[in-house]
Amino acid sequence: MSHSLSEYLHENRDRFEKELGEFLAIPSVSTESRHSKDVEHCAEWVGEHLRRAGVGTVEIVKTDGKPIVVAEHIVNPDLPTLLVYGHYDVQPVDPVELWESPPFEATVRDGCVFARGSNDDKGQVHMHIKALEARLKTGVGMPVNVKLVIEGEEEIGSVHLEAFLRENAQRLACDAVVISDTGMLGPDIPSIGIGLRGLAYLEVFVDGPSGDLHSGSYGGAVVNPALALAEILTALKDESGRVTIPGFYDRVRPITDEEREALNALPFDEDEFRAETGAVSLGGEAGYSTLERLWYRPALDVNGMISGFTGEGAKTVLPAHARAKVSMRLVPDQDPNEIAELFSRYIRDLAPDGVRVTVKALHGGWPWAANPESPLFDAAAAALKRAFGREPVYVREGGSIPIVPLFEEIFEGPVLLLGFAPPGGNAHAPNEWMSLSDYHRGIETIARLYDEVVHRGV
Amino acid sequence: MSHSLSEYLHENRDRFEKELGEFLAIPSVSTESRHSKDVEHCAEWVGEHLRRAGVGTVEIVKTDGKPIVVAEHIVNPDLPTLLVYGHYDVQPVDPVELWESPPFEATVRDGCVFARGSNDDKGQVHMHIKALEARLKTGVGMPVNVKLVIEGEEEIGSVHLEAFLRENAQRLACDAVVISDTGMLGPDIPSIGIGLRGLAYLEVFVDGPSGDLHSGSYGGAVVNPALALAEILTALKDESGRVTIPGFYDRVRPITDEEREALNALPFDEDEFRAETGAVSLGGEAGYSTLERLWYRPALDVNGMISGFTGEGAKTVLPAHARAKVSMRLVPDQDPNEIAELFSRYIRDLAPDGVRVTVKALHGGWPWAANPESPLFDAAAAALKRAFGREPVYVREGGSIPIVPLFEEIFEGPVLLLGFAPPGGNAHAPNEWMSLSDYHRGIETIARLYDEVVHRGV
């Protein structure tokens, strides 16, 4: 990396952090309709800052949902083209009372910035903007073409992205896709993502009496919807922690000896991981290690449930309704649509007499595993090694980025997951944070990646 | 009943209903601290209206909780003395959006008044006030002494009543206790209560990770508190609907052949009861009829539960906490303290690894069965027959009035449950209502009861 580039990155650290703070201050919660103006404003902010960075063309594309920011910086059509994907929308902040500083007020403590979106994904989107700026403002220039697609619906299932990508496949044509929306295995351990779990997210509704009843006058003779829901949820797993939905594991790839060896070689500290969660102990499907459970095995979780009276005191009601949000993390080659269907059918089978049970699919996404043979992975490894001073590790991610397999299919090129989120970074939880040192090393990595891609190819 | 009394009741119907509306308009929700002023105001209202009725002495007694209205009308110490108990506090109104008219605005539809407290228990307390007024204002006078204790904490477990009764046992000394806080078996079927279920109400807390986690990054390797809670709740009953808590049924009295015969003779329409609940079908402990389940068998219900994300959309969290309110309705001779202890111990046994489980007892009350041999029951039957034109039936109540057995013990006399709440009256639920015709017949019954007690004794 040229001297002027290093200098620019160094001299502009404070300004970069200040601008990141501005970006994080916009409450771009895509799932909450009351924030729809904020989401739109956030798209404008991203577009404006790409323009200021010197990116050739920038457009805010309207969709039937949230706008998509599309930008292009074409140096020479004969050079390799990278398509960068990210999202500027964020998760809701509740329970807001558990935040130690306001979720939309970037607050630095111990070298880390705390705010909703700091690592998922605004902080990482910002690294790409700043890497481009550094190359363009210093006159070092770009050795590759870059296109960017920064969407505002990732946290609600990227509803309009697929149609947009397919309709604009020509315009967005590229040699490889770069996505920075994943995490690092540990502090100071640069990581390249080679797998993601998929998702099937549904809601189960149990309806009993037409209204809440007096639990004294009716208790014992009317089926309790909360208990019926509890029974249904309990029946979804057996005693060994395996999901009991018929056919659930049919398409799950067994873990190979090679994969198991690679996992065992990783610097993963299970005690530290447990401590990070705050749980008294870890647990899951019998016969698998923690990393196997997270990366190679599907999982089923209740994300939320509610029934009856949950306020202060003791109200003696027999609730009319109960509902639970249930999501399953999927691994290759599970099909999210098939799993949603198997789940719904099984729930209907489990429904006890005396209540009506319905299921609604909320969203889904495919699991994905990379082919790390591509030279793009060498390029990324080289860039990371230079910025972090050590070899990267190859990791999977328990979470889902449903559009990753989509990009691979549409653009017929490799997808690189170049993620900088810290482990225990509280994405989707209160007190989300990002290490500022990783933020700056991320910018440097991206600024170097362009050169490495030219040297090594994609 | 004297002509002038009948006339008075007839001529003042509209005014009585108007005053009832005023009483129901006071949001005396004892469990919600924001309503504490309203609760105090409600006690004042009751005191003022007893005074206006002509009752000899009326006092609003302060406690460490809500005030108790105490009144006495002593005609002659040699005459029998009845102690009337009722409560002016009410249940919360949520979910408030399900009310067809505002809960604290008495609204008459089809001859019924809809409002929180219309039958539980303000409507019935008001009958006693109006019966006294009718006797005193017409100059017909009282053939018995009457004392009244109208409390404001029934819906939160009558926290301060027991101490008050014990400390004032001398002042409140009586020959029998009359309580109108129960219901009628069916429309136009006057009913005398001979049994109540007791209550043990607890809350179960399940704590997993120290904060909500990303369900992708952690799902499958961290025990899910919502699922752990579902498992615990499910384990509380077996497939036949029996409660599995060890020792739970040890003290339950078997149903006698006589009791079963009496139950079968009652004009109880199971289809109508089911339709009233709105449930697709009824259900409960195998081997028992609906009335047996409600009156002679204990029951276990979840009154409410909550965990994780319950808002709009799909938030992918692994919740930190889950909790459920669980109540058990008890029958003679179950001991609520013993049951709470057995429950807590069993829950701790059921707690899976990976989460912390705690239990908090919220409140409890003893079950009760009357001795219908007392002449007081004949007096009540005669009064009901005259007011309603038909013989009353003897019923139990699935609900609890924890202080009934307490009154029996402290005052060493019989307790009469003379209740006028309609079946399906939505006590504790949205759209609580009271039949106005039963309201007026209730006043007449009480006004007649005084004479019948003199003729038949207690």
Selected for mutation to probe chain B from A205, A217, A294 (highest B CB count within 10 Å) is A217
H/E run at residue B190: none
Chain B positions touching A310 (Cβ under 8 A) are: 304-306, 323, 325
Q: How many CA atoms lie within 13 Å of A43's alpha carbon, on the beta-carbon side?
A: 25
Give phi and psi for B176, each to the nearest 5: -160, 160
pLDDT digits (tens, 9 = 90+) for A32-79: 999 999 999 999 999 999 999 999 999 999 999 999 999 999 999 999
B270: contact with A, CB 8 A cutoff: no
Q: Which long-range contacts (CB under 8 A, 24 or more apart) does B259-266 make?
A: B259/B296, B260/B292, B262/B394, B263/B289, B263/B291, B263/B292, B263/B295, B266/B185, B266/B291, B266/B393, B266/B395
- Map chain A to HEC letters: CCHHHHHHHHHCHHHHHHHHHHHHCCCCECCCHHHHHHHHHHHHHHHHHHHHHCCCEEEEECCCCCCEEEEEECCCCCCCEEEEEEECCECCCCCHHHCCCCCCCCEEECCEEECCCCCCCHHHHHHHHHHHHHHHHCCCCCCCEEEEEEECCHHHCCCCHHHHHHHCCCCCCCCEEEECCCECCECCECEEEEEECEEEEEEEEEECCCCCEEHHHHECCECCHHHHHHHHHHCCECCCCCECCCCCCCCCCCCCHHHHHHHHHCCCCHHHHHHHHCCCCCCCCCCCCHHHHHHCCCEEEEEEEEEECCCCCCCCEECCEEEEEEEEEECCCCCHHHHHHHHHHHHHHHCCCCCEEEEEEEEEECCEECCCCCHHHHHHHHHHHHHHCCCCEEEEECCCCCHHHHHHHHHCCCEEEECCECCCCCCCCCCCEEEHHHHHHHHHHHHHHHHHHHHHCC
Quote the tokens at residue A347.
């729930």
Chain A positions touching B313 (Cβ under 8 A) are: 31-32, 92, 156, 362
For residue B1, what pLDDT is reported?
62
Is the CB of B229 less than 8 angstroms away from the CB of A230?
yes
A183: contact with B, CB 8 A cutoff: yes
Q: Do A399 and A368 form a contact (C-beta atoms < 8 A)? A: no
Is the CB of B301 less than 8 angstroms away from the CB of A197?
no
Whether pLDDT at A123 is above 70: yes
Q: What is the DSSP string of B223-266?
A: --HHHHHHHHHHTTB-TTS-B-STTTTTTPPPPPHHHHHHHHHS
Measure the CA–CA gap between A417 and A197, rounded to whole angstroms. Answer: 13
Burial class of residue A37 in the structure, from the number of CB atoms within 10 Å of its CB (0-12 exposed, 13-18 middle, 19+ buried): exposed
Whether pLDDT at A88 is above 90: yes
Please tell me which residue in A121, A153, A154, A444 is annotated as part of the active site: A154
Q: In Å, how far is A440's CA from the nearest CA of chain B?
A: 24
CATH 3.30.70.360 fits A198-252+298-365, yes or no: yes
A117, A446, B27, B30 from B34: Cα distances, Å: 37, 56, 10, 9
- A positions 376-395 inside 8 Å of B (CB): none
A233: contact with B, CB 8 A cutoff: yes
Clarify whether A154 is annotated catalytic: yes
Nearest of A195, A183, A168, A175 to residue A333 by alpha carbon: A195
CA dihedral B259, B261, B266, B272 (to 10 degrees): 100
- Which residue in B has a C-alpha nearest to residue A31's C-alpha? B313
A413: contact with B, CB 8 A cutoff: no
B4: contact with A, CB 8 A cutoff: no
Confidence of residue A1 (pLDDT cuts 50, 70, 90): low
Chain B positions touching A191 (Cβ under 8 A) are: none
**Residue A83 DSSP one-character state:** E
Query: Measured in Å, how far apart are chain A's first and last C-alpha atoms?
Result: 20
Is the CB of B211 less than 8 angstroms away from the CB of A325?
no
If one compares B255 and A365, the residue with the highest pLDDT of the two is: B255
Chain B positions touching A354 (Cβ under 8 A) are: 279-283
For residue B363, what pLDDT is reported?
86
- A positions 426-445 inside 8 Å of B (CB): 426-431
Q: In Å, how far is B184's CA from the nearest CA of chain A?
A: 12
pTM, entire model: 0.82
For residue A318, what pLDDT is reported?
97
- Which residue in B has a C-alpha nearest to residue A364's C-alpha? B314
Chain A positions touching B273 (Cβ under 8 A) are: 221
- Which residue in A has a C-alpha nearest to residue B202's C-alpha? A314
Chain B positions touching A33 (Cβ under 8 A) are: 312
Q: What is the DSSP string of B328-361?
A: EEE-TT--HHHHHHHHHHHHHHHPPTTSEEEEEE
Q: In Å, how far is B423's CA from the nearest CA of chain A?
A: 9
| CATH classification (class only), B3-196+367-456 | alpha beta
For residue B372, what pLDDT is reported?
75
B139: contact with A, CB 8 A cutoff: no
Q: What is the residue type of B96?
A: V
pLDDT digits (tens, 9 = 90+) for B393-447: 999 989 888 789 999 999 999 999 999 999 889 988 899 999 999 999 999 999 9
Q: Dihedral sign for Cα B110, B115, B117, B123, please.
A: negative
**Residue A351 DSSP one-character state:** P
Measure the CA–CA gap between B174 and B414, rounded to whole angstroms. Answer: 10
Residue burial A276-313, b: 16+ Cβ < 10 Å; e: rest? bbebeebbbbeebbbbbbbbbbbbbbbbbbbbbbbeeb
Is the CB of A32 less than 8 angstroms away from the CB of B312?
yes
Domain ranges of chain B: 3-196+367-456, 198-252+298-365
Selected for mutation to probe chain A from B159, B305, B356 (highest A CB count within 10 Å) is B305
Please tell me which residue in B72, B154, B444, B451 is annotated as part of the active site: B154
Measure the CA–CA gap between A55 and A87, rounded to whole angstroms. Answer: 18
Closest residue to B362, CB basis, from A305, A314, A426: A314
Q: Do B329 and A214 form a contact (C-beta atoms < 8 A)? A: no
CA B300 to chain centroid, in Å, comes to 17
For residue B67, what pLDDT is reported?
98
Is the CB of B293 less than 8 angstroms away from the CB of A220?
yes
Q: Dihedral sign for Cα A11, A12, A17, A18, please.
A: positive
Question: What is the percentage of chain A residues whose pLDDT exceeds 90?
Answer: 90
B244: contact with A, CB 8 A cutoff: no
Measure the CA–CA gap between A130 and A50, rounded to whole angstroms. Answer: 9
Is the CB of B237 less than 8 angstroms away from the CB of A215?
no
Clarify whether B154 is annotated catalytic: yes
Q: Dihedral sign for Cα A49, A55, A2, A81, please.
A: positive
Measure the CA–CA gap between A348 and A357, rounded to whole angstroms. Answer: 7
pLDDT digits (tens, 9 = 90+) for A368-387: 999 777 899 999 999 999 99
Tokens 């990267």 belong to A392
Is the CB of B156 less than 8 angstroms away from the CB of A31?
no
Tokens 């009751």 belong to B46
pLDDT digits (tens, 9 = 90+) for A200-251: 999 999 999 999 999 998 999 999 999 999 999 999 999 999 999 999 999 9
Measure the CA–CA gap between A440 and B333, rounded to whole angstroms. Answer: 71
Q: Enumerate residue ranges in chain B where pLDDT < 50.
A: none
Quote the tokens at residue B389.
């034109």
A96, A122, B247 from A93: Cα distances, Å: 6, 15, 45
B267: contact with A, CB 8 A cutoff: no
Closest residue to A227, CB basis, from B223, B233, B318: B233
Number of Cβ pairs closer than 8 Å across A and B? 371
Q: Do B83 and B411 form a contact (C-beta atoms < 8 A)? A: yes
A310: contact with B, CB 8 A cutoff: yes
Q: Do A435 and A187 form a contact (C-beta atoms < 8 A)? A: yes
Is the CB of A310 less than 8 angstroms away from the CB of B304?
yes
- B positions 333-362 inside 8 Å of A (CB): 352-356, 362
Measure the CA–CA gap between B84 and B74, rounded to whole angstroms. Answer: 13
Please tell me which residue in A19, A38, A72, A89 is annotated as part of the active site: A89
Selected for mutation to probe chain B from A66, A121, A215 (highest B CB count within 10 Å) is A215
Quote the tokens at residue B92.
């919360």
Is the CB of B279 less than 8 angstroms away from the CB of A308?
no
Please tell me which residue in B72, B89, B155, B212 is annotated as part of the active site: B89
Measure the CA–CA gap between A215 and A316, rounded to whole angstroms. Answer: 5
φ/ψ region of A158 (left if φ > 0, alpha if ψ in -120 to 50, else beta) reads: left
Is the CB of A429 less than 8 angstroms away from the CB of B212?
yes
Q: What is the residue type of B395?
A: V
